[in-house]
Amino acid sequence: MTQSSVNILVLHGPNLNLLGEREPEVYGRATLDDLNALIRNHGKKAKATLRIFQSNHEGVLIELIHKHRRWAQGLVFNPGAYSHYSYALRDAVSAAQIPTVEVHLSDIQKREEFRKVSVIAPVCLAQISGKGANSYLEAMDRLLLG
Ligand code: DQA
């Protein structure tokens, strides 16, 4: 680890393990492994230290945020459908005080009504949506730039 290394936690929420086969017309053909390879490559160039997890369970995501609250200097978080209704995840982000960027592969403003609201976005630095894998990479840049 270099002196300038920044610790970034990347969390993928429910159903993102099915990327590549899940609604490819919305989410594309890349798998979660493909996406994580792009994230790791971007992190390597920026000399960031990454920890990446995916979970389909709200409580597991909450515990990962708690566990990394002193380690992570930034959180890139795709809460999946939890974005739209999980006050528990919102509270976890708020409590952990990790600077967080919420990300979405698809453009949640251009889909069903229920996706247009994120209850987590108000406790995040920013929300980046609709840019596919680039949503994650731009979120990392936002955190790395401080
Ligand atoms: C998503 C958008 C959410 O509305 C959806 O429930 C997901 C994926 C995205 O990355 O575009 O699971 O977070």
The per-residue DSSP string of 13-36 comes to -TTGGGTTTS-HHHH-S--HHHHH
Q: Does any ligand 1 atom lie closer than 6 A to the CB of residue 68?
A: no
Task: Give the pLDDT score at 3.
Answer: 54
Q: Does any ligand 1 atom lie closer than 6 A to the CB of residue 115?
A: yes
Ordered by where they begin, the domains of the chain are 3-145 (3.40.50.9100)
Annotated active-site residue 87? The verdict is no
Annotated active-site residue 27? The verdict is yes
pLDDT means over runs of 10, the chain (146 residues): 79 98 94 98 96 98 98 98 98 98 97 97 98 98 92
Distance (Å, rounded) from C-alpha 41 to C-alpha 110? 29
Q: What is the DSSP letter of 3?
A: T
Where b means 16+ CB within 10 Å and e means fewer, 27-39 reads bbebebeebbeeb
Distance (Å, rounded) from C-alpha 105 to C-alpha 27? 6
Please identify, by atom number, the ligand 1 atom nearest to the C-alpha of residue 104. Answer: 10
Task: Give the pLDDT score at 4.
Answer: 67
pTM, two decimals, is 0.96
Task: Give the pLDDT score at 56.
Answer: 98
Distance (Å, rounded) from C-alpha 4 to C-alpha 46? 9
Backbone angles phi, psi at 65, to 5 degrees: -65, -45
Paired sense of beta strands 6-12 and 48-54, if any? parallel
Task: Give the pLDDT score at 1.
Answer: 46
